[in-house]
A and B are shown apart, each in its own frame.
Chain A
Amino acid sequence: MSLVAEVYRVFQIILGIILSVFILYVLIAYSGGYSGVQQSLDRATIIKNFLTDSRSVYFTGNAINFTDFGAFDFSACEVDWRQEPHIVCVTEDEEIRSESMLIPIFFNTDSEVVITRDYVDFGWWRFYYITATSRKRILFNPLETDDEVWEFMVDVVEHLPDTYGFSPKTTYGFCDGMERIENLCSGSLCEQREFSSLLTRSRSGMTFSLCTTDMNREHRLIVISRDCAPGMSDRGICITPMTNGAGKIVFLDTGAEYTFTNMADITAAVIGRTDQDMFRRTEGENFLSLNKKLFFRMMGLAAEEMAERSSLILSNLPAGSEQCITGYSDFRDSMEIITQILKLDLEDEPIAQTLATELDNAGVLWQYLINNGCEHAR
Chain B
Amino acid sequence: MGVSMPGSGWLKGQSNIIEYIFMTLFVIIMIVVLIVFISWFQYSQIGMRGGNLQTERAEFLMNYMINSPYLVIENSMLDDSKLTSLLFMDDYCDRMDGIFGTGWSLEIDLLTSEEGCYGNCTLESYPCCGSWTFCKNRRDFNKTRSYVIPVNVFRKMSDHVELASMKVTLYAK
Binding site for B on A (CB under 8 A): 1-2, 4-5, 7-8, 11-12, 15-16, 19, 23, 26-27, 30, 34, 52, 55, 59, 99-100, 102, 125-126, 297-298, 301-302, 304-305, 308-309, 311-313, 315-316, 376, 378
Contact = CB atoms under 8 A, between A and B. Distances in A.
A26 B31 contact: yes
B98 interface: yes
B126 interface: yes
Given A5-B9, A301-B95, A316-B157, A55 B64 contact: yes
A8 B95 contact: no
Nearest to A316: B157
A302 B70 contact: yes
26 contacts: A1-B7, A1-B10, A4-B9, A4-B10, A5-B9, A7-B13, A12-B16, A23-B31, A55-B60, A102-B101, A125-B69, A126-B69, A297-B98, A298-B99, A301-B70, A301-B95, A301-B96, A301-B99, A302-B70, A305-B86, A308-B88, A312-B81, A312-B123, A313-B81, A313-B157, A376-B74
Interface stretch (B20-28, B130-138, B141-149): B20-28
A315 B56 CA distance: 40
B3 interface: no
B100 interface: yes
Nearest first, the 5 A-B pairs at minimum CB distance are A8-B13, A308-B85, A1-B9, A309-B85, A19-B24
Contact of B35 (A5, A7, A11, A30): A30
B141 to A, nearest CB: 17
A252 B99 CA distance: 33
B169 interface: no
A97 B151 CA distance: 34
B82 interface: yes
Contacts of A302: 69-70
Interface centre among A12, A34, A312, A313 (most CB of B within 10 A): A312
Contact of B17 (A8, A19, A27): A8
A59 B156 contact: no
B63 interface: yes
Range of interface residues on chain B? Answer: 35 or more
Nearest to A126: B69
B67 interface: yes
Contacts of A1: 7, 9-10
A376 B73 contact: yes
A102 B100 contact: yes
Contacts of B81: 309, 312-313
B20 A15 contact: yes
Nearest to B67: A59
Contacts of B13: 4-5, 7-8
Contacts of A5: 9, 12-13
Interface in B99-117: 99-101
A99 B101 CA distance: 9
Contacts of A376: 73-74
B99 A102 contact: yes
Contacts of A316: 126-127, 157
Contacts of B126: 312, 316
Nearest to B77: A376
A248 B27 CA distance: 71
A45 B14 CA distance: 55
Interface in B74-90: 74, 81-82, 84-86, 88-89
Given A4-B9, A30-B35, A376-B73, A309 B82 contact: yes
Nearest to A22: B28
A301 B24 CA distance: 69
Contact of A305 (B28, B85, B123): B85
B16 to A, nearest CB: 6
A59 B62 CA distance: 11
Contacts of B12: 5
B74 A378 contact: yes
A126 B68 CA distance: 10
A5 B9 CA distance: 7
A257 to B, nearest CB: 28
Nearest to B100: A102
A11 B101 CA distance: 66
Nearest to A56: B63
A276 to B, nearest CB: 29
Contact of B20 (A4, A12, A308, A315): A12
Nearest to B124: A315
A38 to B, nearest CB: 9
